[in-house]
Amino acid sequence: MSEVPCYLKDYETLYAEDPRAAALQWFRDAKYGLFLHYGLYALLGRHEWVQLREKIPVAEYAKLKDRFTAEKFDADHIAGFAADCGMKYVNITTRHHDSFCLFDTRQTDFNSVNSPAGRDLVGELAKACEKHGLGLCLYYSHGRDWRHPHAPNNDEWGGSARPKYDPPEPAYTYGPEHHLQIYLDFMTAQIRELLSNYGPIASIWLDGIAVPLSGPKEKFRCQDLYDMIHGLQPQVLVSYKQGLLGTEDFFAPEHKAVERDPGKPMEICTTMTPKGWGYMKEMAGKHKTAGEVWETLRAARQRNCNLLLNSGPLPNGSIDPEDDTVLREVGRRLRQEGFPG
pLDDT at residue 178, as a whole number: 97
Q: What is the CATH number of the domain that holds 209?
A: 3.20.20.80
Separation of alpha carbons 19 and 203, rounded Å: 13
Q: Shortest CA distance to 122 belongs to which of 158, 60, 180, 70?
A: 70
pTM above 0.95, yes or no: yes
pLDDT digits (tens, 9 = 90+) for 167-197: 999 999 999 999 999 999 999 999 999 999 9
pLDDT digits (tens, 9 = 90+) for 229-278: 999 999 999 999 999 999 999 999 999 988 777 789 999 999 999 999 99
**Considering the domain boundaries, does residue 261 fall inside one?**
yes
Q: What domain range is 241 assigned to?
A: 6-337
**Considering the domain boundaries, does residue 279 fall inside one?**
yes
**Considering the domain boundaries, does residue 62 fall inside one?**
yes
Burial class (CB in 10 A: 0-12, 13-18, 19+), 166: exposed
The answer to whether the CB of 40 falls within 8 A of the CB of 98 is: yes
pLDDT at residue 1, as a whole number: 42
Instruction: Name the stretches of the chain with pLDDT < 50.
Output: 1
**Considering the domain boundaries, does residue 277 fall inside one?**
yes
The answer to whether the CB of 227 falls within 8 A of the CB of 238 is: no
Q: Considering its fold, how many domains does the chain have in total?
A: 1
Q: Shortest CA distance to 261 belongs to which of 24, 90, 26?
A: 24
239: Cα within 13 Å, side-chain hemisphere? 24
**Considering the domain boundaries, does residue 191 fall inside one?**
yes
**Considering the domain boundaries, does residue 128 fall inside one?**
yes
**Considering the domain boundaries, does residue 167 fall inside one?**
yes
Q: Shortest CA distance to 115 belongs to which of 167, 172, 39?
A: 39
Separation of alpha carbons 120 and 113, rounded Å: 6
**Considering the domain boundaries, does residue 1 fall inside one?**
no
